[in-house]
Amino acid sequence: MNDFIFQSPTRFVFGRGFVDRVGEEVRGLGARHALLVYGGGSAARSGALDRVRASLAAAGVNFDELGGVRPNPEVSLVREGIELARAQGVDLVFALGGGSVIDSSKAIAFGVPYQGDVWDFFCGKAKVGACLPVAVALTIPAAGSEGSPSCVISNDELQVKKGTSSDALRPRVAVMDPELTFGLPPYQTAAGVTDMICHVCERLFSNAGPVPVTDNVAHGIIRAIMGAARVVHGRPDDYDARATLMWAGSLAHNDLCGCGRGPAAGRRAGGWESHGLEHEISAHHPEVAHGAGLAVILPTWMRFAWRSNPQPFLSFARGVFGIEPDDDSDAARERAVLAGIDALEDFLAQLGMPRTLGELGLSPSDVDTWVRTLAQNKGPVFGEVRPLDMDDARAIYLSAF
């Protein structure tokens, strides 16, 4: 087991109807004037927005609002939020939504005290230091941003999507009310399920290990996600299954599944190859849901990379799907690994996720553009299990069609 630091300081407030508690939670953080950030309409339609407004008002918290965050959120709205927050003297940013709203809120939170342009944090010119507190009411379990130190923002002008990370960005409070997710459409639910499974896999498929305690936790979380996803597919308002997905999404990305698998204490486990490859796709095609892109890229990358270190892939096949090699031969191990990858891809397809990039409306002629910006983002080589150069990346993209 490698050295690690595990820090998950977010206060998770989890339960039925708990969206009505956001006011007291925000008040408990000492905030007096929040910026309430939300997306394109689902929070208004579900009634969650009015409930948050009422709860903040009842707790005596003033607030201004910034709606209209789009999926794969864009930096221009973040800049607008920073101006608004400064003008109104905001002392907390409250995100009502999923990864896109939470990440926009995080960027506003560290952009407010900074003198320069907020994009500086994403292109390496500035490091997160001072930051307003962020609180969350989650409406879609997927990105795990409610407990993560990461923030991912797109810049349409530059045609890039970039992340920045700091423990200061872990939300102070995440209110988790599974009933808010009853109305999530099957496609969004499935994209979220894919993303959370991928967050576990990115950490599992690293060169450390085996790390029995972490690996068993990780496999168990994936099995729980799969079981709940199957239930929700037929019964979208099954409380326990929705609650399972909601909590699993947070545990998938708060670094629990990386303990002992990272290269050094304080460094995230895994090479994050699938996320690196997918982010170029959703940067250039914001209409592609991050999770849907991952549904194609993750199995394709697994088939490309597993031979460099079969152990975690064999362990995944066994721990998640109960697939054992028939005997001790290399051929039997290969069959087991590939059967595990096929099982994952089949499961995602049964939920309505694509198997090919063509199903997402993408074309092989897009690949050169993705490789060009991938090289800018990641350098000439990235990844861990099998370090990928840009020819490898091109080969993976092309075999995903």
Which stretches of the chain bind ligand NZQ, using CB under 6 A? 39-43, 46, 71-72, 97-101, 103, 139-140, 142-145, 148, 150-152, 180-181, 183-184, 188, 192, 195, 253, 275, 290-291
The C-alpha angle with vertex 256 and arms to 378 and 286, in degrees rounded to 5, equals 40
Q: How far is the CB of 90 from Zn ion (least distance, A)?
A: 28
Q: How far is the CB of 71 from Zn ion (least distance, A)?
A: 12
Angle between helices 212-234 and 310-321 (to 10 degrees): 50
- Closer by beta carbon to Zn ion, 74 or else 202: 202
- Closer by beta carbon to ligand NZQ, 151 or else 400: 151
Q: How far is the CB of 184 from ligand NZQ (least distance, A)?
A: 4
Assigned token pair, 13: 């407030």
- Closer by beta carbon to ligand NZQ, 181 or else 244: 181
356, 21, 375: which is closest to 180 by C-alpha? 21
Q: How far is the CB of 348 from ligand NZQ (least distance, A)?
A: 15
> Which of Zn ion, ligand NZQ, none interacts with 250 (beta carbon under 5 to 8 A by kind)?
none
CB atoms under 10 Å from CB of 283, counted, come to 24
Q: How far is the CB of 308 from ligand NZQ (least distance, A)?
A: 23
What is each CA distance from 307 to 109, 191, 294, 301, in whole angstroms? 43, 27, 21, 11
> Which of Zn ion, ligand NZQ, none interacts with 392 (beta carbon under 5 to 8 A by kind)?
none
- Closer by beta carbon to ligand NZQ, 40 or else 263: 40
> Which of ligand NZQ, Zn ion, none interacts with 162 (beta carbon under 5 to 8 A by kind)?
none
What is each CA distance from 282 to 10, 116, 151, 278, 357, in whole angstroms? 28, 27, 15, 7, 12
- Say how far residue 40 (Cα) sits from the centre of its chain: 19
- Closer by beta carbon to ligand NZQ, 195 or else 392: 195
Write out the residues near Zn ion by the rule CB under 5 A.
195
Residue 91, SS3 per DSSP: coil
> Which of Zn ion, ligand NZQ, none interacts with 152 (beta carbon under 5 to 8 A by kind)?
ligand NZQ
- Closer by beta carbon to ligand NZQ, 10 or else 181: 181
**What's 357's DSSP letter?**
S
Q: How far is the CB of 6 from Zn ion (least distance, A)?
A: 20
- Closer by beta carbon to Zn ion, 22 or else 374: 374
> Which of Zn ion, ligand NZQ, none interacts with 97 (beta carbon under 5 to 8 A by kind)?
ligand NZQ
Task: Please name the residue that has the structure tokens 């939170």.
Answer: 109
H helix intervals, 112-167: none
Beta bridge partners of 215: none
Concatenating the DSSP letter of every residue in 334-351 gives: HHHHHHHHHHHHHHHHHT
Distance CA 294, CA 176 (A): 25
Q: How far is the CB of 335 from ligand NZQ (least distance, A)?
A: 31
> Which of Zn ion, ligand NZQ, none interacts with 39 (beta carbon under 5 to 8 A by kind)?
ligand NZQ
Distance CA 61, CA 112 (A): 19
Contact 36, 96 (CB under 8 A): yes
Q: How far is the CB of 352 from Zn ion (least distance, A)?
A: 18
| Contacts of 338 by beta carbon, 8 Å cutoff, 6+ apart | 303
Contact 355, 399 (CB under 8 A): no
Task: Please name the residue that has the structure tokens 């996600």.
Answer: 225
- Closer by beta carbon to ligand NZQ, 152 or else 396: 152
Assigned token pair, 286: 């914001």
> Which of ligand NZQ, Zn ion, none interacts with 387 (beta carbon under 5 to 8 A by kind)?
none
Q: How far is the CB of 147 from Zn ion (least distance, A)?
A: 13
- Closer by beta carbon to ligand NZQ, 25 or else 74: 74
Closest residue to Zn ion: CB criterion: 195
